Every structure is written in structure tokens, then in C-alpha cells.
Structure 1
Amino acid sequence: MTTSEVQPPKGLVTETSTTTSRRNSRRWTLKVTAALCVAFALPAPGFPSAHADQGRKTNNAYVTNSEDDTVSVISTRTNSVTATIPVGDGPFAVSVTPDGRTAYVTNFVDDTVSVISTRTNSVTATVPVGDGPSAVAVAPDGRTAYVVDNGDGSVSVISTRTNSVTATIPVAFAPQGVAVSPDSRTVYVPASGNDTLSVISARTNSVTATIPVGNTPLGGVAVTPDGRTVYVTNFGDETVSVISTRTNTVTDTIPVGAPQSVAVSPDGRTAYVTSDFAQGEVSVVSTRTNTVTDTIPVGNAPLAVTFAPNGRTAYVTNANDNTVSVIDTRTNTVTDTIPVGNAPRGVAVASKHTKSSHDVRPDTRRPRQRL
């Protein structure tokens, strides 16, 4: 198989005898599961200092670069990288607090979460979590960050006041993504190990329901602004499951080519799904009819997608060409392409009224190994 033919393998859960071996294994996994086509990748751009955009009143997008161990800070006003922030080993996902002051970044290789001040664009705390943190979502009330621990089959609950883990919730095998309901009462975690969606009560920190979805949900999960519907991407059977939060049942299934991530627009009318990993597309889904109404060509190997708080712009990370595509949601066209770091994965936009977003991860599980 050539590098250009690399596809996301099944999810990652490894068990090795030493920390070094585990980290080397995860670093290898990062290189493979990002489906990086080195022969076709763009050169990594130079970055300003981490404080270059300090104090400026502008919305910023935060992008995790999994091979550089950095986060790129993009000014949404100029669509340019204004800062780069060193974080932990193998940054995957990012989510921002509703007030836009803090970003949480999962570091898949060293089992930590980097806490970033968006005012200074610097790491202010590092939180140890479970094995292989692959996704994060800050609750809309801003009090809690939920971190998916892929290797442990658990969710770490972080208090954003103390930046410490206050609870650990067992979920299904190989959990991938996470989303929180608008009222902050319910947490949704898809797991590729048994093709289900775990429904968690934020009050009791326990699983209250388990919903069968499609084949190999890679972590793409989003809740509509009214809290009535959840969308889950199923990479294995190329569908998106539509779930009623009232009945916790699948009410519709949408055919979408090789879906990765999903985000719902702030007005709730549209869902964007990163799809067709090889060709690089975003499928536009009407949430009224649950049908694909348009497709948008983007970069190579699109992974994560998020909307700006005003809904007029969407941002897509392209892992194989080290770029972020900027989409005008009124015309469903790419209006700009921003070079970032090596193997960008997660993206979130911070502003005064931020809507948190989270990365989708190609299912990176491998069979457990003992060395």
C-alpha cells in the first residue's frame, strides 16, 4: 500500500509493557491514522511567536497539529495563522469554553490535556487523564470538560474551575468522540468497539442508555441547538445515524460517503459532514429532510469541521495537505485555504459567545499487544 492509499484503520487500544513502548506505538499510530500522504504534503509554514495575537479583539480558530505537537491560532478576520502554541505529545482534539477564554486540547500520546489561555495563547495547566485521550467537549454551561479516553474505554470529567479530574465514567469499548446537550445535562459518546452511542447523565456521571448505531462510528457526533436530535457518523457503512433524544432511538439513516466528523450550524438548519476521505468533501445535510443537498470539495483527508458562532463560516482541517479550508456557508463554497502545521486534526472557534467543537478521529484502535 502506498502512502496515498492509507486509510483510517480500526480504532486504537494498545497495551505495552513500558511507557516508552506505548508512546512509540502511539506516535506510529498518529502517523498512520492521520492518513498522511507525505509525498503530497505541503511544507510546514513558519509561525509567529505564541504571543503574536495577544490581546487583540478578534475571533480565533484553534487547530491541533498532531505531528508538530502544536496548536495553530488562526485569526478569523484575516484567515491567517497569528500564533503557534506548543502543547503535549500528539494533540488530537480541541474545545473552547463558552466565554472563549480557555481552550482544552487532548494529547493522545502522553495522556494529558493542555489548558490554554486564549488571552495569552499559552498553556496554563496540564491535566493528566486516561489512556489515549482522543476527544474533548466543554459543556455549554462552561463548568465541565468531558475527555474521551480511547484506550481505557472511559470518559474523564474535568472541572474547568480547578482543572482537575473529578470523575471517570466507564463507557463502551474504544470510545471516539463526545458531544454535550445544549442544557449541559446529557453527554453523548460514540464507540467503534461495539457500534453504539453511550448516553451519559451529567448529574450522576453514569451511562443511562446505550443506542445501537451504524458500523464503526469514528467519533463524529453533534447535537442540534434545540437538543432534540443527535447526529452520529458511521465510517464503516458510510452513513449518518439520526437519533431522537426523546426516545433515544435511531429515527433515520443518511447515506454519506465515508463520513468522519459532523457539526450542526448555529441555526440548526444544516449539518456539515466531512466525507469521502480520499477525495476530500464536505456533505451538506438538511436537518429538516435529513438528506444531502450539496457537496463541497475541500482539501486532502478532511477530518474535523466546526462553524463560526455566527454560522456564516465553517472551518475544515485537512490532514494530508496541512491546511484548513474556509467555507462560506451561504454559498457552500471554499473561500480560502490556510496553511497550518503538520497533520491538523481538531478545530474550534473561540469568541465571546463560543460554541465548542471537537475533533473527529479516524478509528485508531489496534488489537491489544503485549511486548
Structure 2
Amino acid sequence: MKNTIFIASIIGALVLTSCNKDDNMDTTINVNYPAAYVVNGEDATVSVIKLSTNEVTATIPLMGTGTDMIMWPHHISSHENHLAIGVPGMDLSAGHSGLMTAGMTGKLLVIDAMTGAIVKNINLPLMNHNSIYSPNGTEIWVPQMDEMNSKVLVYDATTNALKNTINTGMMSAEVTFSSDGTKAYVANGDDDEVTVINVATKAIITTIAVGDNPVGAWTGSNGQMFVDNEDGQSISVLKVADNTIAQTIALGFMPGIASHNGTKSELWVSDPMAGKVHYWTYDTAMGMWMHGGAFNTGAGAHAISFTIDGNTAYVSNQTANTVSAVNVTNHTVTKTINVGKKPNGIVIKM
């Protein structure tokens, strides 16, 4: 068990200007265009960036009041016209090392992507790093972070009924899926392992030893998953086909997130402390990822999301309170977009 630390960042969020659930329902927006949705943790809002102009066209308030209160929303996923957001209830922008979760609860939040209306707000027994739609969109999978008894809860996306509870490892953070939709991956930070789950049967297939303090196994379109090991300062490259490690990439910095661009055959990894993004290209002759370079985005560089054509990336900069729009071909920032406070998760809907 890693040394625990106390995170005392929640109180400050109480002084933020809030909006109740009815206020949010009355907020009039109509996002009928391709957009990037950016979760602002400290503000408890979602910034909507119109892709054609790279301008913030709407801000969706989430905070609410009482039992509906949303504090420190984190990562986001999408299915059709809905967005699912994980709400751990604490600030995770400084990393996960030594995280203490005793007594912390979370929420599963679903909002309408076009109107910003809150569709569901489900209280969870434990805090959750993310909430993610299953590959076919019929379920929402939610990890439960605990020092000893982590698990994944599987909800019916239509009825909200809890369908399955899957026991995982210690301090389970992000849950993700392989690009073919057959396997789910849960990063267990205190076990230094990743749990692999059969999506159809909900049975655990295996556990894979990775680096020190893994946070997420990020999806590649090339039959690989990329695990960011915070304390190990490395990326474990997992092969989906046989559940083995193909490569361990030494970084020399604590990673924020790893993101694979299949169109450009590049792997990007954010470097929060330096405000940079590093990228790797795949050398087919050597059968491994090779470092290609790095470029500046903004302080606290974190989430990375690519457009479908792979030509543009959006990077959230948590400390700078901005999002960088990046030309993928020449690795240059084309625009810096002001958003809310401590932006983290990003999802793009076309």
C-alpha cells in the first residue's frame, strides 16, 4: 500500500457560484454542430467548443445543490446524444499517488449533449474516476476507487438499473475498452496491475502486471492499449490479442494521459509538469514505438482528443485553464482557447 496523503481541495469548491438542477434544465443551448466537450473540474461546468471556429459557444453548468451537487467532475464519454461524466468529488489534477479515498463517494452523471440538460444523476457508494458507455451503448461502466475493495459497477444505460458488480483490484481508477469492443481494462493503481474483463460475460479474463501506479489503459486502434504509470513514469504497451506487454516506454516524467492517433500512427503522452505533449511514431522494422519529439501546450497538460480524421488534436491544460487546438501534421498549437477552471476530460462529437 502506498503512503497516503490527505487531499484538501473540496472546500474551496463550495464558494463557487452554483446553479441548481432546475436552473440547468432551463439553460437554453442547441449544440447541433460538431463540438468538443471539455469538463472543467473546479468550476463543475462543461465548455462546448465549436470545431469549425474553435470558439467556446456554450457553457453547461453542473454543480447543482443538496444531494444533486456535482463537485470536481473528471472524465467524460459519449454515446449518440448523451454524455456520461465521472464525478469523483475531489481534485485529481496533481495526480493519484498516495490517494486516500476512505469515506469519499462519487456520482454517475449523464447529460444531453445537445441541450445540456441533466438526464441522470446517480449517487455511488465510492468515488469514481470515470463513467463510460459500453461499446454498444447499452451499458455504462463505472469504476469504484477503494484502497482494498475496488470494483466496477455496470448500469443499464436506459433503465439505470445496476446489472453487474465486478470485483477488481486495489484503487481501481479508469475503466476503458479495446477498440474491437470485446475487452474492458481497469487500471488498479495500488496493485500495479490491469484487470482484463470480458465485456459480454463480465468475467475476469486475467490481470496483467504493469508499471508503478497505473491510472488508465488508453485505447489504441492498432490492437494495443497504452497504460500510463504515474509513479513508474512509463507507458506499458499491452497487446489486446494475447494480454501480454509488447513494450515499456520510459518517459522521464509523470504522464497525464496517453492517446493513440491511428490515422497518423502516433502515440501522444501529456507531460503536466512541463506543460508539454510528447509523441512517438511506430517503427515497423523494429516493432516498437520511437520518440519523435515534444511541443508546448499549456501548464498542466492533461487530456488529449483527436478529431476523426486525425488532423486536429485538443489538449486540456489544467493549470492554465485553457484548451490547445493542435495541428497534428506539424505538431504546432494553432489556437489557445480559454475555458473553465481546471479543465480535464475531453470528448469530441461530430
- CA deviations on 1:148-172 (whole Å, 9 max, x unpaired) are 2223511121222223432221111
Q: Does the Cα contact within 8 Å between 1:13 and 1:174 map onto a contact in 2?
A: no
Structure 1 residue 93 corresponds to structure 2 residue 75: yes
- CA deviations on 1:179-227 (whole Å, 9 max, x unpaired) are 21123221011111111111011122232110000111133x222224x
1:26 positional shift: 6.8
Tell me, in whole angstroms, the C-alpha distance in 2 between the residues paired with 1:182 and 1:30.
Answer: 36
User: Unmatched 5+ residue regions in structure 2?
Assistant: 18-23, 63-69, 90-104
Query: Which secondary structure state, in structure 2, belongs to the residue aligned with residue 141 of structure 1?
Result: coil
Structure 1 residue 254 corresponds to structure 2 residue 255: no
Query: Which secondary structure state, in structure 2, belongs to the residue aligned with residue 205 of structure 1?
Result: coil
Alignment match, 2:110: 115
Tell me, in whole angstroms, the C-alpha distance in 2 between the residues paired with 1:341 and 1:244.
Answer: 37
Equivalent of 2:180 in 173, 178, 183: 183
Q: Does the Cα contact within 8 Å between 1:96 and 1:104 map onto a contact in 2?
A: yes
Q: Read off the aligned partner of 2:71 and give its amino acid letter.
A: D
Alignment match, 2:128: 133
Q: Read off the aligned partner of 2:116 and give its amino acid letter.
A: N
Aligned length: 311
Go from structure 1 to structure 2 and tell me whether the alpha carbon gap of 1:142 and 1:266 turns closer, same or farther (over 3 Å shift): farther
> Considering only aligned residues, what root-mean-square deviation do their CA atoms show, in Å?
2.6
Equivalent of 1:209 in 206, 217, 223: 206
Alignment match, 2:44: 69
Go from structure 1 to structure 2 and tell me whether the alpha carbon gap of 1:345 and 1:28 turns closer, same or farther (over 3 Å shift): farther
1:70 positional shift: 1.3
1:69 positional shift: 1.4
Alignment match, 1:347: 346
Tell me, in whole angstroms, the C-alpha distance in 2 between the residues paired with 1:164 and 1:139.
Answer: 15
How much identity, in percent, do the aligned residues show? 27
User: Unmatched 5+ residue regions in structure 1?
Assistant: 1-9, 15-23, 32-43, 352-371
Go from structure 1 to structure 2 and tell me whether the alpha carbon gap of 1:168 and 1:213 turns closer, same or farther (over 3 Å shift): same
Q: Does the Cα contact within 8 Å between 1:52 and 1:83 map onto a contact in 2?
A: no
Alignment match, 1:224: 220
- CA deviations on 1:238-290 (whole Å, 9 max, x unpaired) are 11111112221112111222212011114271111112x22111111224431
- CA deviations on 1:95-139 (whole Å, 9 max, x unpaired) are 111x3x110011112521111111212211112334111123323
Tell me, in whole angstroms, the C-alpha distance in 2 between the residues paired with 1:117 and 1:224.
Answer: 27
Alignment match, 1:303: 302
Q: Where do residues 346-365 of structure 1 align in structure 2 (5 Å cutoff)?
A: 346-351=345-350
Alignment match, 2:21: none
Q: Does the Cα contact within 8 Å between 2:139 and 2:156 map onto a contact in 1?
A: yes
Structure 1 residue 200 corresponds to structure 2 residue 183: no
Alignment match, 2:279: 284
Tell me, in whole angstroms, the C-alpha distance in 1 between the residues paired with 2:184 and 2:114.
Answer: 28
Q: Read off the aligned partner of 2:186 and give its amino acid letter.
A: V
Tell me, in whole angstroms, the C-alpha distance in 1 between the residues paired with 2:12 and 2:173.
Answer: 15
Q: Does the Cα contact within 8 Å between 1:51 and 1:83 map onto a contact in 2?
A: no
Give the TM-score, by structure 1 length.
Answer: 0.77
Tell me, in whole angstroms, the C-alpha distance in 2 between the residues paired with 1:250 and 1:179.
Answer: 17
Alignment match, 2:94: none
Q: Read off the aligned partner of 2:10 and give its amino acid letter.
A: R
Tell me, in whole angstroms, the C-alpha distance in 2 between the residues paired with 1:208 and 1:149.
Answer: 19
Query: Which secondary structure state, in structure 1, belongs to the residue aligned with residue 74 of structure 2?
Result: strand
Q: Read off the aligned partner of 1:327 and give its amino acid letter.
A: V
Alignment match, 1:270: 266
Query: Which secondary structure state, in structure 2, belongs to the residue aligned with residue 92 of structure 1?
Result: coil
Tell me, in whole angstroms, the C-alpha distance in 1 between the residues paired with 2:180 and 2:134.
Answer: 8
